[in-house]
Amino acid sequence: MARRKIVAGNWKMNMTPSEAVKLVEELKPLVASDTVDVVYCVPAIDIVPVVEAVKGSNVAVGAENMYFEDKGAYTGEISAPMLVDAGVKYVILGHSERRDYFKEDDVLLNKKVKKAFEAGLTPILCCGESLEQREMGVTIDWIRLQIKSDLVGITAEQVASMVIAYEPIWAIGTGKTATTEQAQEVCKGIRECIAEMYDAATAESVRIQYGGSVNGANAAELFAQPDIDGGLVGGASLKADFGKIVNY
Ligand code: PEP
């Protein structure tokens, strides 16, 4: 069965609650789609108003991060049950900005992936290489290590339902998109890794996004690749261009 495409916006640390509601209203007619899953991953403070603002539309709401404990003395953190109760369906885990600036490692991310599934959230698990790693020729080895570590103890059924986002770090927010061939090659490599770790059916089901300077002009070619099932979109998700990406 063909995999359904999924296009997710990663708003990062942008949009106050009132700006967020305005953006949702502006994008509403542009992102309508019967064929593509559309997700807005928004800052924690925007979750409640955005869940309200997307009601009755085709858009689901995601978080950009969460902690792996349910509750307790973790000042400043937000838990999976809190997200679920607020109406969140997806959560981005392991974005390169969190791995880099906030020192999130694969041991921590594995705990977060487990907790997301336990709570009923769909993880959008990010992986990707730096420019140095690409130039050293270790891209796929690095990504396989990330995937294998982050998915320890995760079942085939869970993996089949999740989303993996391949995001070369050098392409994020730089305007430098990976070539279609580079993006397809790594997304195929991720699928092969899942087939080895689990089985062919799981690999066929898991949705793999490409992320890194996706825009209205390059989305169609990227999404036409056999192993690319949509995109994780940063900068362009805050503009009308996001509608062009959804309706590529
Ligand atoms: C991202 O942050 O996940 C991303 C892909 O950003 P951009 O589209 O701006 O490169």
Q: Give the CATH number of domain 5-246.
A: 3.20.20.70
167 is catalytic: yes
**In the chain, domain spans:** 5-246
- 131, 177, 233, 241: residue to mutate for ligand 1 pocket, most atoms within 8 A of CB: 233
- Atom 7 of ligand 1: nearest residue by CA position: 234
Task: Find the helix or strand (DSSP H, E) in which 183 lies.
Answer: helix 180-197
pTM of the model: 0.98
Other C-beta atoms closer than 10 Å to the C-beta of 2 total: 6
Tell me how far apart the alpha carbons of residues 119 and 89 are, in angstroms, rounded to a whole number: 10
Q: What is the pLDDT of residue 176?
A: 83
Q: Confidence band (pLDDT; 50, 70, 90) for 167?
A: very high
Side-chain-facing half-sphere of 202: CA atoms under 13 Å: 18
Angle (deg, nearest 10), helices 139-150 and 106-119: 50
Tens digit of pLDDT for each residue in 11-38?
Answer: 999 999 999 999 999 999 999 999 999 9
132 is catalytic: no
Separation of CA 53 and ligand 1 centre (Å): 23
Averaged over 82-102, what is the pLDDT?
98
- 11, 126, 232, 241: residue to mutate for ligand 1 pocket, most atoms within 8 A of CB: 232
19 φ/ψ sector (left φ>0, alpha ψ -120 to 50, else beta): alpha
- Atom 3 of ligand 1: nearest residue by CA position: 234
Separation of CA 245 and ligand 1 centre (Å): 13
Catalytic choice (64, 97, 104, 167): 167
Q: What is the pLDDT of residue 177?
A: 84
Q: Which two tokens stand for residue 188?
A: 């195929």
Q: Which two tokens stand for residue 28?
A: 């509403």
Query: Which residues have any ligand 1 atom within 6 Å of their CB?
Result: 10, 167, 172-173, 211-214, 232-236
Is the per-residue pLDDT at 1 higher than 80?
Answer: no
Tens digit of pLDDT for each residue in 196-216?
Answer: 999 999 999 999 999 999 999
Tens digit of pLDDT for each residue in 33-63?
Answer: 999 999 999 999 999 999 999 999 999 999 9
| Beta strands at 36-42 and 59-63: parallel, antiparallel or unpaired | parallel
Dihedral sign of CA atoms 221, 14, 112, 144 in order:
positive
